[in-house]
Amino acid sequence: MADTKSLPIWAEDLRKRYLRGESSMFILHGNVFDAVMNDGKMLGLTEFLTGVLLKDSRENIVVYNLSSGASFPKKAEGFADWQSIAVESDKAKVLTMLERSIRLTDKTAVVLEYAEAIAPAGETSFQTDADRSAIVTLHRWSFLPEIERGDNIIILIAENIAELAPKIVSNPKISTIEIPMPDFETRKQVVAQTDARLTPEDVNRYAEATAGLKSVQISSILLPPPQAEEDLHDREAFITTLLGNSADAVERAHKLAALTSGMNRDEIKKLVAPEAEAVETKPNPLERARAEADKLIASRKREIIERECFGLVEFVTPERGFEIVGGMEEVKKDLLVIADSIKKGTRSRVPMGILFTGPMGTGKTFVAETFAKECGLTTIKLKNFRSKWVGATEGNLEKILSVIKAIGQVIVIVDEGDRAFGNTDGDGDGGTSSRVIARIKEFMSDTSNRGRILFLVMTNRPDKLDVDLKRAGRLDRKIPFLYSQTAEEVEQVAKALLRKNKIKTDVNLTELKEEFSKKLVGYSNADVEAVLLMANDDAARETDDSASVKKEHFIRAANDYFPSRDIELLEYMELLAVFESSSRRFLPLKYAGMTPEELDLKLRELRLRIGNRR
């Protein structure tokens, strides 16, 4: 095989496994549609395999996929049936002829692109005869002594291994190798090669900023613009100086630059403003490229990653931090320590994951997003990745986890965690739930992710979460979110909500303790917000939309508001949050002194009363 000096890690792994005799068949999965950096060039995966890794050691190389059929990047004269293989479109016949040929030849490599289309996953009874035949054929190849004796190698390429037939994936004679997203050093090589004008500092900065993107995507974003586009920018900057400080100078310059293509500066000056004194400008192409690249990376990274994950994740860009969160001082203090540790890189002080638990309307999602702002990390929200199709749920999850790992320095928000992660008994879903939970637990307990990937899970029913998922080392910080317990807490929440909703008022809510704050004790933050908005609407109806909310509006709204609530269910959710809390510091006085046994007894009583209510 190829010289090991320039091989990527995954290729070196494949080479070593083959030379040790560990396997003659390999599955390459993961980042298979990206470019491979080799000797200063960016090659497609198949091009790298056939032109670099296998070129010198193989006498015959065959590449096959369902769309274009078989091709022969390298072929010895004695390779049997190659003309018939090249023109055949039926995959069963192609595989049969390939098997006969590799049995009769030595040093042959077969590369099967889009292997998931050749041998797809799925319920056997729903597959076609051709699919079942292909699966059996490939499985049988791994046990053929002629392949190993003839120094032959077979490589299957599939982006999502969950879409490939499990009979092949689980075969111990077939080695599975993941091609990862480009690491920091690889991204540095791509950045430096794409734009040679960049300084070492710029190269490092872009390599860091493009985490989570493929090499081909990084290259397309940072590729210098063609000369015609550079000239257009120069003309636009020159015309702007001619037009001076007029209100529409930038807009006019943009249009005129397009109309003056091919003209020199003197001709442009005579046409646009003959009397004007142009200020000689020498725009720095590198500075302009930097500015454009920064904008592109920010917008394209979000777009590309959301598309790569098929809409399974959503980027969150919170605008405000804890300054708009009222109350919860102990919680904010704790979260600020975590945020500070993340910024300083003190990874040992950062939990592996955080669980926000409490009844609906207590501000869990709101606080999660403001916490993300305080941390300053890329933040994504996990959307519903479950699918009704066999194997698709596991495939979706693998795709998400690979992107999360590639991004690094990321907060992953999982709302309604009990629904997202489901149960573990797998009843009625063929064991999908148990496999999903097992994979998530494995990923969350990887200590190399500490301080880099922080899971923030929210739920109002922590009793429905897998117990092992909640243990220390996965979700090791558990923070309860409860309804306001005192009038003072109601006031703090109300003041923060007034700022958030930009409600105009001169009223000091502390003076309305009896008529307003005490009436809302035990209400959710969402209920308090509804009362404030109701008061604002009352004020607008009485005068106009810009009216200031007065004392009587707040009092009337507090008396008039009628929340829809299941008292027993809410109490049960609140007790669950208290029971899960990782520290007594977070608890109000009425719960701080209760023993775990007392809480457990109370929970059992309520559980019997609420039944299956949710």
Identify the band that residue 509 occupies on the pLDDT scale cut at 50, 70 and 90. Answer: confident
As a whole number of angstroms, the distance between CA 139 and CA 579 comes to: 51
Closest CA to 51 of 95, 5, 109: 109
Do residues 378 and 403 touch, judged by C-beta distance below 8 A? no
List, in sequence order, every beta strand (DSSP E) within 91-217. 108-112, 153-158, 174-179
CA distances from 236 to 184, 224, 227, 291, 398 (A): 37, 18, 14, 16, 47
Closest CA to 304 of 219, 388, 371, 245: 219
φ and ψ at 376, to 5 degrees? 75, 20
Percentage of the chain lying above the pLDDT 70 cut: 90
φ and ψ at 254, to 5 degrees? -65, -40
* Location of structure tokens 């609407």: 537
Q: Crossing angle for the helix pair 392-407 and 432-444, nearest 10 degrees?
A: 10
Region 421-426: what's the mean pLDDT? Answer: 58
CA distances from 522 to 191, 484, 527 (A): 56, 5, 10
Equal CATH topology for 4-180 and 309-480: yes
pLDDT given at position 247: 64
Region 429-444: what's the mean pLDDT? Answer: 80
Domain assignments of the chain as residue spans, ordered by start: 4-180, 185-223+287-303, 227-277, 309-480, 485-614
Please state the length of the chain. Answer: 614
Region 437-443: what's the mean pLDDT? Answer: 87
HEC string of 191-235 equals HHHHCCCCCHHHHHHHHHHCCCCCHHHHHHHHCCCCHHHHHHHHH
Instruction: Tell me the fold of 309-480.
Output: Rossmann fold (3.40.50)
Tokens of 320: 């405000």
As a whole number of angstroms, the distance between CA 229 and CA 518 comes to: 65
Closest CA to 27 of 108, 184, 105, 141: 141
Which one has a higher pLDDT value, 314 or 428?
314
CA angle 531, 534, 540 (to 5 degrees): 145
As a whole number of angstroms, the distance between CA 89 and CA 456 comes to: 50
Task: Please state, as a whole number, how many other Cβ atoms lie within 10 Å of the Cβ of residue 234.
Answer: 17
Top-confidence range, 61-65, 493-497, 536-540: 61-65
As a whole number of angstroms, the distance between CA 61 and CA 301 comes to: 37
Q: What is the pLDDT of residues 17-56, one digit of tens each?
A: 999 989 999 999 999 999 999 888 899 999 999 999 999 9
As a whole number of angstroms, the distance between CA 458 and CA 452 comes to: 19
456 pLDDT above the threshold of 90:
yes
As a whole number of angstroms, the distance between CA 248 and CA 255 comes to: 11
As a whole number of angstroms, the distance between CA 356 and CA 528 comes to: 20
Q: What is the pLDDT of residues 335-347, one digit of tens each?
A: 999 998 888 888 8
Closest CA to 576 of 613, 602, 610, 595: 602
φ and ψ at 329, to 5 degrees? -60, -45
470 pLDDT above the threshold of 60:
yes
CATH 3.30.300.20 assigned to 4-180: no
Contacts of 158 (CB under 8 A, 6+ apart): 27, 28, 29, 32, 114, 115, 116, 164
Q: Crossing angle for the helix pair 329-344 and 364-375, nearest 10 degrees?
A: 30
165 pLDDT above the threshold of 90:
yes
* Location of structure tokens 């470019």: 35
Tokens of 186: 């690889």
Q: CA Rg, the chain, in Å?
A: 31
End-to-end CA distance of the chain: 60
**For all residues of the chain together, what is the average pLDDT?**
84
DSSP letter at 456?
A: E
As a whole number of angstroms, the distance between CA 309 and CA 312 comes to: 5
Residue 421 burial (10 A CB sphere; 0-12, 13-18, 19+): buried
Region 329-333: what's the mean pLDDT? Answer: 87
Tokens of 424: 């573990």
Q: What is the pLDDT of residues 174-192, one digit of tens each?
A: 999 999 989 889 999 999 9
Region 516-539: what's the mean pLDDT? Answer: 89
As a whole number of angstroms, the distance between CA 545 and CA 170 comes to: 66
Contacts of 553 (CB under 8 A, 6+ apart): 535, 536, 538, 539
Contacts of 528 (CB under 8 A, 6+ apart): 484, 490, 493, 494, 497, 520
Residue 304 burial (10 A CB sphere; 0-12, 13-18, 19+): middle
pLDDT given at position 291: 64
Top-confidence range, 108-122, 215-229, 271-285, 460-474: 108-122
278 pLDDT above the threshold of 60:
no
69-74 and 60-65 strand pairing: antiparallel
Region 316-333: what's the mean pLDDT? Answer: 84
Distance of CA 16 to the CA centre of its chain: 32
As a whole number of angstroms, the distance between CA 213 and CA 221 comes to: 10
Closest CA to 397 of 347, 427, 437: 437
Q: What is the pLDDT of residues 91-123, one digit of tens each?
A: 999 999 999 988 889 999 999 999 999 999 988
Single-letter amino acid, residue 515: E
Identify the band that residue 279 occupies on the pLDDT scale cut at 50, 70 and 90. Answer: low
CA distances from 553 to 120, 418, 486, 510, 546 (A): 65, 39, 22, 15, 14
